[in-house]
Amino acid sequence: MSTQRRFLTPRSGASFRPRALIGVGAVSLLALSLTACGGSSDAGGGTESKALKVLIAAPQEGAGKILEQEFEAETGTDIQVEVVPYDQIQTKAILDAQSGTNNYDVIQYWYTSVGALAESGALADITSWVDDDSDIDSADFIQSIFGPYTQYDGKTYGLPIDGDTHVLFYNKEIFERNGVQVPTTWDEYVQVAQKITDAEKGNGVYGSALLGAKSAFNIGSTFFNRLATMSPDKIDPQMPQLNTPAAVEAAQAMLDAAPAALPSPLEIGFEQALPQFLSGNVGMIEFWTDLGVFAQDPEQSKIVDKWGVAPLPVGPQGSVSGALNAGWAMGISPNAPDQDLAKQFVAFASSKKMNEQLITTTGSGVDPIRTSTLESSAYTAFAPEVAQVAAEVLPNAQSWPTSPQAPQMIQTLSDNLALMLQGSLTAEQAMSQTWDTWQSLAG
């Protein structure tokens, strides 16, 4: 998710995006408000300037600045951006819509909240516009992304701007020193990590970094990576099937990986894991695809030309896939006074032109959302190894919950997974308790 993995500063001056990641309570994110004077008269003819108020999640601040600059340059619109921690977006959008304060015209949202936002009246139904406007070219969106990011109860409430999934990055030198191969199954993953850790932990080198910090983008991503690649059935975005052997196996795979991981997984989020991987102290890490750009940057990385990337391992009944970890879309407030201008901005932000520009800009925090940009020569040239793996994984990526109860569901899952990693629950108990709570939330 782009996020504020903002402890790195790319040469371009943008922040290392981490997808988001930022977990609730894991990173202190500053709310930045970039305001301008909208509605003023120009000196020439007294014409009122156009203005648009946009709510942006902190993980996407880098991309937001680019969109702001490009749209203002193209249309002359005064874009007034408010950047807030991702976990405040839903509350702010709902309060704004229901109170009638109308502070925002366009709302960027983490896709898992689409059902909650739509049900509360915070997002406008844009189904007809998206279906009827050929310039949007909705068929070009990667369909594994388009549905979960935008749909609720058969209607469309937004357009994607950033497609997020994890792949497996690894250190070639560490693998060569220890005579191991890139794992293709989760059992092999544990074996490879254990061999590296046993041989090199005395020198501060570990086989893997397991993102186990108690926040959705960390511990939640680690779980859904395994569920998506271990289950014989696709994840149901309304109610992921946690009452199955595959779900228990996914949770158990986290427990199996923990002993050989960078200590200690419950305290490891992306902000702790990334410096270790880029310093050459970690053999494997599951991470968003833009890590490849930074791993190849000598100003940020000690592993230039020493890293590789592959799809996530799979389980006995699973297949090559991935989970939509983080991921962002833009919708329109039902109270936006200029709906046409808001639509113009949302279409611009999700367009082929802008997506290609963003996915080839270091630090933007954006990954492909369209088939045309995923397969474009510009993206392939910019990140050749990652582009090849992303093309294999993104079309098969699977969704987290997106129902109106999704925010509470994800929090409950994160809480119980954390209890599991600390030894208070077994994998089976963590899944059973989470499933029972989910059923009660669904009513």
Longest dimension (CA), the chain: 74
Q: How is 39-68 classified by DSSP, letter by letter?
A: TPBPTTT-PBPPEEEEEEEGGGHHHHHHHH
For residues 145-153, give the mean pLDDT: 96
Percentage of the residues of the chain whose pLDDT score is greater than 70: 89
Cβ neighbors of 375 (< 8 A, separation 6 or more) are 391
**Are 345 and 336 spatial neighbours (Cβ–Cβ below 8 Å)?**
no
4, pLDDT greater than 80? no
- CA distances in angstroms from 56 to 11, 59, 114, 241, 345, listed in the order given: 23, 8, 15, 31, 13
**Are 313 and 186 spatial neighbours (Cβ–Cβ below 8 Å)?**
yes
29, pLDDT greater than 90? no
Please give the structure tokens belonging to residue 245: 């052997």
CA–CA gap between residue 123 and residue 331 (Å, rounded): 6
Dihedral sign (CA 221, 227, 230, 231): negative
Average pLDDT along the chain: 89
Please give the structure tokens belonging to residue 120: 């509360």
Helix (H) or strand (E) holding 32: strand 32-34
Which residues in 116-268 belong to E strands, given as ranges? 151-152, 155-156, 159-162, 166-171, 206-209
Dihedral sign (CA 290, 293, 297, 299): negative
11, pLDDT greater than 70? no
* CA-wise closest residue to 332 among 322, 324, 340: 340
- The larger pLDDT score, comparing residue 25 to residue 262, is at 262
The CA dihedral of 313, 316, 317, 322, to the nearest 10 degrees, is -10
Helix (H) or strand (E) holding 91: helix 89-99
439, pLDDT greater than 80? yes
Q: Phi/psi at 410 (nearest 5 deg)? A: -65, -40
Dihedral sign (CA 108, 144, 141, 12): positive
CA–CA gap between residue 269 and residue 262 (Å, rounded): 11
Tally Cβ neighbours within 10 Å of residue 137. Answer: 15
Bridge partners of 2, per DSSP, are 19
30, pLDDT greater than 90? no
420, pLDDT greater than 70? yes
DSSP symbol at 105: S
Structure confidence at residue 95 (pLDDT): 94
**Are 367 and 387 spatial neighbours (Cβ–Cβ below 8 Å)?**
no
For residues 247-263, give the mean pLDDT: 98
Structure confidence at residue 28 (pLDDT): 30
For residues 373-388, give the mean pLDDT: 96
pLDDT tens readout for residues 51-61: 999 999 888 89
CA–CA gap between residue 118 and residue 147 (Å, rounded): 14
121, pLDDT greater than 70? yes
Q: With bands split at pLDDT 50, 70 and 90, how would you rate the model's confidence at 362?
A: confident
41, pLDDT greater than 60? no
349-366 burial string, b = 16+ CB within 10 Å, else e? bbbbebbbbbbbbbbbbb
**Are 25 and 86 spatial neighbours (Cβ–Cβ below 8 Å)?**
no
Structure confidence at residue 442 (pLDDT): 82
Three-class SS state of 394: helix
Structure confidence at residue 87 (pLDDT): 83
Tally Cβ neighbours within 10 Å of residue 126. Answer: 23
Specify the residue for token string 């880029």: 278
39, pLDDT greater than 50? no
For residues 421-442, give the mean pLDDT: 96
Helix (H) or strand (E) holding 82: strand 78-84
pLDDT tens readout for residues 67-118: 999 999 999 999 999 999 888 999 999 999 999 888 999 999 999 999 999 9
Q: With bands split at pLDDT 50, 70 and 90, how would you rate the model's confidence at 48?
A: low
What's the alpha-carbon Rg for the chain, to the nearest Å? 21
- The larger pLDDT score, comparing residue 325 to residue 15, is at 325
In the chain, the N- to C-terminal Cα span, in Å, equals 31
pLDDT tens readout for residues 330-339: 999 999 999 9
Please give the structure tokens belonging to residue 184: 């293709």
For residues 177-195, give the mean pLDDT: 98
For residues 372-378, give the mean pLDDT: 97
Three-class SS state of 296: coil
pLDDT tens readout for residues 281-326: 999 999 999 899 889 999 999 999 999 999 999 999 999 999 999 8
- The larger pLDDT score, comparing residue 442 to residue 1, is at 442
DSSP symbol at 314: B
